[in-house]
Amino acid sequence: MSADPSPLVLQGLTPPLRLSDFRLAAFDMDSTLINIECIDEIADAAGRKAEVAAITEAAMRGEITDFKDSLRRRLTLLKGVPSSALAQVLRDRLRFNPGARELCAALKAAGLKLVLVSGGFTYFTKHVAAELGMDFVRSNALEIVNEQLTGGLLMQPWGEICDGEEKRRMMLNCAEHIGATAAQCIAVGDGANDLPMMGAAGLSVAYHAKPAVRAKAMVAIPDGGLDRLLTVFA
């Protein structure tokens, strides 16, 4: 029998909160809604997982402060990887974290709009967004030529790289679109590039997060499922 999960860590909050006070929830994808860092698993196909994963880990801990630079460095190592590796990662390795479906379903049932904001890739965010009923999505588009990754990204109407500031901007823009305020937003993430949106939201949630992120979140879920967040609401 598994041990009971650790208590939620609450900072500056006195539960229960009212879910009706919130209108939008923004989620990171990799290691938050899903169990993997997709870029690390793609790199595995090129025999470069250790090198790429080390950069990912340093970026998520906040040791590499320029997310765009860290992403470009990792993408360069993926040059020449067959695009079929994406399908393999999606099929064989990507799984939803415990409680992800339940939390998203409960939030939608309560009338909240859901936003997926990821420094990962559209190939995966399209799948995750469809499965969880996301209302808005922003992520990076891998450039593929002759069925191989080029090591670059495609320019999109809003820009090239969804970094921490773009996550924050997307969350706030979506809130404005539905007539909500920043205080009516929930932001959920695990890495340093989630801190800008978490800092702007009325409720910030760290899920199995890096220490620097846990320290700044209003709610930290150290273990167990994402749906544990529902216990802070009336």
Catalytic annotation, residues? 28, 30
Scored b (16 or more CB within 10 A) or e, 16-34 reads: ebebeebbbbbbbbbbbbb
Tokens of 58: 């340093």
Starting at the edge strand found earlier in the chain, the sheet holding 203-207 runs: 9-10, 219-221, 203-207, 185-189, 24-27, 113-121, 136-145, 148-154
Dihedral angle, C-alpha 86, 87, 91, 93, nearest 10 °: -10
Alpha-carbon gap, residue 213 to 217, rounded angstroms: 6
CA 140/CA 160 separation, integer angstroms: 7
List the one residue out of 122, 124, 113, 111 whose CA is nearest residue 33.
Answer: 124
Which of 84, 97, 113 shows the shortest CA–CA distance to 26? Answer: 113
The candidate with the shortest Cα–Cα distance to 134, out of 149, 113, 103, 118, is: 113
- Here the tokens at position 192 are 């340093």
With H, G, I as helix, E, B as strand and everything else as coil, classify residue 203: strand
Determine the Cα–Cα distance for residues 167 and 46; give it in Å rounded to an integer.
29
